[in-house]
Chain A
Amino acid sequence: AQSVTQLGSHVSVSEGALVLLRCNYSSSVPPYLFWYVQYPNQGLQLLLKYTTGATLVKGINGFEAEFKKSETSFHLTKPSAHMSDAAEYFCAVTTFEAGTALIFGKGTTLSVSS
């Protein structure tokens, strides 16, 4: 079985500062890892995903994440925060089996102040 732990339910940064949202996973087989974002009153949308190959993954809106197998981590970063980045972010894991459902973390709310 897979699981995801997001460290920190709430992260606050200033506009222009580095954004770092932490995610650690547990999986007995090679994982597929995802970050989704949820803006207020909306459904979730995909930011980026890691399946195989390059461990540094670039996504939309300037976000990127690095898969580190030795640390079982998939942290999300953005060099410079914008006010529009304020949202809730979810890390998720699944495995190769077709049709397997995504398992989500509990989410991290990002606040950006001016």
Chain B
Amino acid sequence: DVKVTQSSRYLVKRTGEKVFLECVQDMDHENMFWYRQDPGLGLRLIYFSYDVKMKEKGDIPEGYSVSREKKERFSLILESASTNQTSMYLCASRVMGQGAIGELFFGEGSRLTVL
């Protein structure tokens, strides 16, 4: 089975701190994604990566950056956390071979609280 692992299920950070959210997948998938999930807003795309060292902005990239140095790992970085970044963050991966019709495999999420 495909496994997408997010390093932290729950984090509490202070305003202004730098935050790293790590995501690792074990199925050699080329595409990886970071979404933010908020009640009533659904999932909104922050960044995605077609392959190693490639990244594309999604719908809400402001205040975030990403890193994809290895194929299996996709990191989301909050350079200076703010209270409006309190949210659930979901990582997903997808094999490139099926193109856009491929299934997304999700991690269990990282719930970030910024105080």
Could you list which residues of chain A lie within 8 angstroms of chain B, going by C-beta atoms?
A: 6, 9, 32, 36, 41-46, 49, 51, 90, 94-107
Are A44 and B90 in contact (CB-based, < 8 A)? yes
Are B35 and A104 in contact (CB-based, < 8 A)? yes
Which secondary structure characterizes the binding site on chain A?
loop
Q: Which listed residue, A45, A49, A101, A105, touches B101 by the CB 8 Å rule?
A: A49
Could you list which residues of chain B lie within 8 angstroms of chain A, going by C-beta atoms?
A: 4, 31, 33, 35, 40-45, 48, 50, 56, 58, 90, 92, 96, 99-101, 103-104, 106-109
Report B-chain residues with C-beta under 8 Å of the C-beta of A96: 99-100
Report B-chain residues with C-beta under 8 Å of the C-beta of A105: 42
CA distance A49 to B40 in the complex (A): 23
**Given A43-B108, A44-B90, A94-B100: A101 and B45 interface contact (C-beta under 8 Å):** yes
Which residue in chain B gives the minimum CB-CB distance to A36?
Answer: B104
CA distance A9 to B40 in the complex (A): 7
Report A-chain residues with C-beta under 8 Å of the C-beta of B107: 43
Report A-chain residues with C-beta under 8 Å of the C-beta of B31: 99
Are A43 and B90 in contact (CB-based, < 8 A)? yes
